[in-house]
């Protein structure tokens, strides 16, 4: 297995600098891996003998568990390090953590960190493959990849679709990764949210900006509804959650007024009754649980490719070959 031969490069830090071809390679590689999770014995020896550290400086259940399943189903040896509680996660700790990991000769690190750029910081300092599981407000590439896969599963394509990301764009790494991924694959992208939560210059990335949800719903084929972090209210970005739901909430009443059916995604965890109403989240057009299922397959694909696995041999790998 040769790290430099990976079709993705050494690391997956974000989608901004990947090509459309690389994105498609990941999505296509995820397809055969979906089936492994449906088997009675959910394990293939693709990453046997590889050690992977899941280094989580921020609390996370969903993403960490999804990565862990992906790793275990590929037969990697995994270690979880949680340094939650923000006091221990700052600056020098990250350097020292990187050096310690390097000294233990691990093969891959999956990192979640509260500071934008933390994954890249680590990637530049250790020879192991680094996968970004979310860095500050910067990127969350595997989340966007699973969103892309879920959209493609439903429409059979991504090109030409109108996708609007709704909510707190300012603080969202999911939004940034989605914007890059969707645009590269030919979708039209919009963002919608309170103007206090729309970052400056966002339209220069090539997205349309809607300040009201009604406009977004009238336009979109897909809504990707972001979680509203409750602390945004305390920080003064919004008057109240109630008002947020009234003005920007994705409700069945609003969706009924749309002329077409709109696919609903949400990266979770949801605040029901705030950014999304329960009857929408649980309704026929919601693919929120499909996203979770696809998350494992996409992460298996990323780990496989970074380990040097050839995309065209993913089908064989699933039958028992090693990467």
Q: Name the minimum Å distance from CB 134 to other proteins.
A: 10
Give 113 or 299: the residue with its C-beta nearer to other proteins: 113
Give 13 or 250: the residue with its C-beta nearer to other proteins: 13
Mask: binding to other proteins, 153-172, rule CB under 8 A, as x and -? --------------------
- Phi, psi for residue 281 in degrees, rounded to 5: -60, -35
Q: Name the minimum Å distance from CB 19 to other proteins.
A: 17
Could you say which residues in the range 115-134 bind other proteins, by CB under 8 A?
Answer: 115-118, 120-121
Beta strand extents in the chain (DSSP E only): 51-56, 77-82, 108-113, 129-135, 162-166, 188-192, 208-210, 222-225, 263-265
Give 121 or 219: the residue with its C-beta nearer to other proteins: 121
- For tokens 């993913």, the residue is 314
- Distance (Å, rounded) from C-alpha 43 to C-alpha 45? 7
Q: Name the minimum Å distance from CB 295 to other proteins.
A: 21
- Distance (Å, rounded) from C-alpha 40 to C-alpha 55? 29
Give 137 or 318: the residue with its C-beta nearer to other proteins: 137
Residues catalogued as catalytic: 62-63, 90, 112, 140
Q: Binding of other proteins at residue 137 (CB under 8 A)?
A: yes
Could you say which residues in the range 78-107 bind other proteins, by CB under 8 A?
Answer: 90-92, 94-95
Number of residues near other proteins (by CB under 8 A): 27
Closest CA to 169 of 204, 146, 200: 200
- Phi, psi for residue 208 in degrees, rounded to 5: -90, 145
Could you say which residues in the range 172-231 bind other proteins, by CB under 8 A?
Answer: 173, 176, 199-202, 204-205
Token pair of 292 as six digits: 């979770």
Q: Name the minimum Å distance from CB 135 to other proteins.
A: 7
Give 115 or 258: the residue with its C-beta nearer to other proteins: 115
- For tokens 């609903």, the residue is 264
Query: Any idea what the Cα angle at residue 113 is, between residues 88 and 46, rounded to 5°?
Result: 120
Q: Name the minimum Å distance from CB 131 to other proteins.
A: 17
Q: Binding of other proteins at residue 68 (CB under 8 A)?
A: no
Token pair of 295 as six digits: 């998350």
Closest CA to 181 of 303, 26, 63: 26
Residue in 7, 9, 10, 16 binding other proteins, rule: CB under 8 A: 16
- The β-bridge relationship of strands 208-210 and 188-192 is parallel
Q: Which residues bind other proteins (CB under 8 A)?
A: 16, 90-92, 94-95, 113-118, 120-121, 135-139, 173, 176, 199-202, 204-205
């Amino acid at each position: 297995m040769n790290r430099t031969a990976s079709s993705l490069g050494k690391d997956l830090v974000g989608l901004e600098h990947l090509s459309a071809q690389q994105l498609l390679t990941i999505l296509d590689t995820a397809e055969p891996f979906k089936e492994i999770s449906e088997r009675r014995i959910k394990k293939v020896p693709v990453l046997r003998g590889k050690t992977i550290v899941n280094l989580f400086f921020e609390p996370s259940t969903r993403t960490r568990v999804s990565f862990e399943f992906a790793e275990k189903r590929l037969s990697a040896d995994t270690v979880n390090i949680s340094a939650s509680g923000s006091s221990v996660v700052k600056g020098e700790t990250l350097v020292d953590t990187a050096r310690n990991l390097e000294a233990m000769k691990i093969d891959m690190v999956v990192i979640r960190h509260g500071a934008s750029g933390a994954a890249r910081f680590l990637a530049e300092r250790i020879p192991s493959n680094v996968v970004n599981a979310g860095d500050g407000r910067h990127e969350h590439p595997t989340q966007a990849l699973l969103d892309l896969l879920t959209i493609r599963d439903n429409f059979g394509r991504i090109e030409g679709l109108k996708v609007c990301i709704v909510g707190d764009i300012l603080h969202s790494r999911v939004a940034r990764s989605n914007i890059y991924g969707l645009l590269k694959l030919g979708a039209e992208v919009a963002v919608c949210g309170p103007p206090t939560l729309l970052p400056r210059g966002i339209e220069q990335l090539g997205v349309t900006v809607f300040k009201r949800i009604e406009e977004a719903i009238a336009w979109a084929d897909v809504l990707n509804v972001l979680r509203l972090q409750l602390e945004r209210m305390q920080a003064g970005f919004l008057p109240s959650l109630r008002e947020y739901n009234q003005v920007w909430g994705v409700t069945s009443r609003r969706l009924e007024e749309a002329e077409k059916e709109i696919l609903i995604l949400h990266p979770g965890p949801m605040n029901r009754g705030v950014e999304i109403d329960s009857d929408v989240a649980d309704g026929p057009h919601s693919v929120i649980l499909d996203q979770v299922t696809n998350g494992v397959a996409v992460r298996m694909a990323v780990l496989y490719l970074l380990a040097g696995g050839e995309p065209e041999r993913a089908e064989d790998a699933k039958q028992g070959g090693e990467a």
